[in-house]
Amino acid sequence: MDRDKNVHFTAAAMEDDEDQQGDNTLFDRCRDNDRRRNKPKRRSRAAGRAPAEGRTGRTAAAGGKRRWLTTAALCVSFLGLGMSIAIIGPTFQDLASNVHKNISDISYIFAGRSAGYIGGSLLGGALVECMDPYLLLGLSMVLTAVGMCAIPLCRQALLLTIFMSCIGISMGVLDTGGNVLALNTWGEEVGPHMQALHFSFAAGALLAPIIAQLPFGPPKNCSTKGKSEIARKLIKTIQSWTDLRSMWSYVVIGLFVLLTALVFFGMYCCATGSRSRAHSDSEKPQVAKYHIAIVALLFFFFFAYVGAEVAYGSFIFTFTKDFMGLETAEATGVNTLFWGSFAACRGLAILLAAYFYPGTLITFSLVCCCASSLFLSLFPLHRAVLWAGTGLYGASMAAVFPSGISWVEQYTPVTGHTAAVLVVGAAMGEMVLPVLLGFLMGRISGQPLLMYQALACAIFCSILFPAMYRLAVASRSHGQEDQDEEDRENEVCQALLEPEVIEMDTSLALLTSMTIVIQKPTHKC
């Protein structure tokens, strides 16, 4: 009887010890998980593209080379995009002569290209979600190349407008798809690479006037004497296409874009199953709580920023000549200063983006925009203020657009649809604000309307950015609390299903059954 009681008490004590040990083990695991969870984490959409532990160093190196090759191909494509957009300005007179029209009669080609650009941005945002990005960009560049090469053959204004609209569609797809591909390739490390993309675009815009002045094609008085029959036929055929040598700059740019398209097709063909595997292994990005509100505010932010940039670059020459009475050479110098400082600081932003957060670059740029536009508005007739303010304004506008895309990627995923909305906002600002400024300058004289618009847009953007930042921070804190609670529940369930815990529960059940068996003879006694 006493021996049975001792066995019963010993089993009960062992059961209490096991319960306490199990509770302590589960508590320790939850505490360790909390410590690991409270460590700072950085969300990266490129996390899934990082090499796994079992992957060889050769595979990891190949993945790194592919990412750098993607950046190089995107930079070259954006170089062609900048040349394709900016070549119309230096050759606008020859375009009108080629279709036997005046300049005022074909001004609607800009509206056609802008409408196509907006439609292409929306189309690209939808296609980039369901197509391979390399194939999509390659096809869009082929369409751009065909349109550019066909422009010298257009002898009717309607046909020219159709080709311009098609080129706008393809360029909109390229703009949206290129930004999304850069974000998907580099994740949170995209800052310098995004700046490099848009620096290439600015460099292409600067190269376009130079290309337009190069002597392409055979001269009008080219002699065919002493040449073979094939050479004579080729020269006559080329001369029959167009008499304007500047039109051949479109063919040169089109061939350049076509060669770049072959690079994207090659990358698409060389891709293996690793791309789909990386996509399936990558962690799903968490959408911010105020995602729609952030994207909507950024839409208006880019609307005002890009509109002010294009309006200033388009009207600064006219403003300095008509309002300030400067000579043509000096007005051209001011215009060149704006775009030169713009392109140079986009190149500098590649280095700055590696050391500063996108939000810091945006804040500094907005402060400089407000300061320069304020001085230009207060002292519109001072030449020193004009030169210094124009240079500072162009430099401060350089890094805003690429930094804005990199900034929003830190708080909410930038999908194809999101990028399409942002690009459409920029395209609409580019189309609306310059037209509005030109209308007002024709109705109101004697006022520096260009400087007033620059100041108004800078203040508007400076108000929008803090509002976007507050929404983004609120979304991140709210999402982090929900994620922590969900992770805590999952970790508790996972800890309960660990083999040690299951083994402990099995031993407890065995001890309980032993106690019941021992207790039965005791009651009989």
CATH number of 61-229+240-271: 1.20.1250.20
Token pair of 128 as six digits: 């980039």
Distance CA 109, CA 161 (A): 5
Query: 326 φ, ψ to 5°?
Result: -80, 160
pLDDT score of 478 more than 90: no
On whether the CB atoms of residues 184 and 45 are closer than 8 A, the answer is yes
pLDDT score of 455 more than 80: yes
Distance CA 13, CA 5 (A): 12
Q: Give the pLDDT confidence score for residue 391 in this predicted structure.
A: 93
What average pLDDT does this structure show over 472-493? 60
Higher pLDDT, 252 or 415: 252
Identify the weakest region by mean pLDDT among 5-19, 173-187, 405-419: 5-19
Distance CA 494, CA 505 (A): 15
Identify the band that residue 54 occupies on the pLDDT scale cut at 50, 70 and 90: very low
Which of helix, strand or coil describes residue 155?
A: coil
Find which of 141-145, 235-239, 432-436 is predicted with most confidence, using mean pLDDT. Answer: 141-145
Long-range Cβ pairs for the range 73-76 (8 Å, 24+): 73/260, 73/263, 73/264, 73/267, 74/178, 74/181, 74/182, 74/193, 74/197, 74/200, 75/196, 75/197, 75/199, 75/200, 76/200, 76/260, 76/263
What average pLDDT does this structure show over 29-33? 50
Q: Taking the CA atoms of the chain, what radius of gyration do you get in angstroms?
A: 32
H/E element holding 142? helix 133-150
Identify the weakest region by mean pLDDT among 81-95, 242-256, 460-474, 495-509: 495-509
Token pair of 363 as six digits: 């804040």
Distance CA 67, CA 348 (A): 22
pLDDT score of 180 more than 50: yes
What average pLDDT does this structure show over 202-219? 77
What average pLDDT does this structure show over 416-445? 85
Find which of 29-33, 62-66, 418-422 is predicted with most confidence, using mean pLDDT. Answer: 418-422
Task: Tell me the angle at which helices 133-150 and 248-270 cross, rounded to the nearest 10 degrees.
Answer: 160
What average pLDDT does this structure show over 66-73? 87
Find which of 354-358, 364-368, 401-405 is predicted with most confidence, using mean pLDDT. Answer: 364-368
Q: Give the pLDDT confidence score for residue 245 in this predicted structure.
A: 67
Q: Give the pLDDT confidence score for residue 49 in this predicted structure.
A: 41
Task: Tell whether the torsion through CA atoms of 103, 107, 109 and 113 is positive or negative.
Answer: positive
Residues of the chain with pLDDT > 70, as a percent, come to 69
Q: Give the pLDDT confidence score for residue 396 in this predicted structure.
A: 92
Identify the band that residue 279 occupies on the pLDDT scale cut at 50, 70 and 90: very low
Identify the weakest region by mean pLDDT among 21-35, 83-97, 144-158, 357-371: 21-35
Distance CA 415, CA 357 (A): 21
Q: Give the pLDDT confidence score for residue 8 in this predicted structure.
A: 47
Distance CA 362, CA 396 (A): 9
Higher pLDDT, 1 or 88: 88
Q: Give the pLDDT confidence score for residue 465 in this predicted structure.
A: 93
Listing DSSP states for 194-243 in one string gives HHHHHHHHHHHHHHHHHHHHS--S--TT---TT--HHHHHHHHHHHHH-S
On whether the CB atoms of residues 144 and 259 are closer than 8 A, the answer is no
Identify the band that residue 483 occupies on the pLDDT scale cut at 50, 70 and 90: low
Distance CA 372, CA 386 (A): 9
Distance CA 431, CA 427 (A): 6
pLDDT score of 503 more than 60: no
Q: What is the pTM of this model?
A: 0.69
Q: Give the pLDDT confidence score for residue 389 in this predicted structure.
A: 93
Identify the weakest region by mean pLDDT among 30-34, 159-163, 226-230: 30-34
pLDDT score of 387 more than 90: yes
pLDDT digits (tens, 9 = 90+) for 294-305: 899 999 999 999
Distance CA 107, CA 96 (A): 9
Start and end residues for every CATH 1.20.1250.20 domain found in the chain: 61-229+240-271, 292-475
Distance CA 45, CA 141 (A): 26
Higher pLDDT, 67 or 216: 67
Q: Give the pLDDT confidence score for residue 497 in this predicted structure.
A: 53
Mean pLDDT (the chain, rounded): 76
Q: Give the pLDDT confidence score for residue 370 in this predicted structure.
A: 95
pLDDT score of 461 more than 90: yes
Q: Name the residue among 267, 268, 262 with its Cα closest to residue 141.
A: 262
DSSP state letter for 131: S
Q: Give the pLDDT confidence score for residue 222 in this predicted structure.
A: 52
DSSP state letter for 51: P
Architecture of domain 292-475: Up-down Bundle (1.20)
Q: Give the pLDDT confidence score for residue 276 in this predicted structure.
A: 41
Distance CA 164, CA 98 (A): 15
Q: Name the residue among 190, 179, 185 with its Cα closest to residue 354.
A: 190
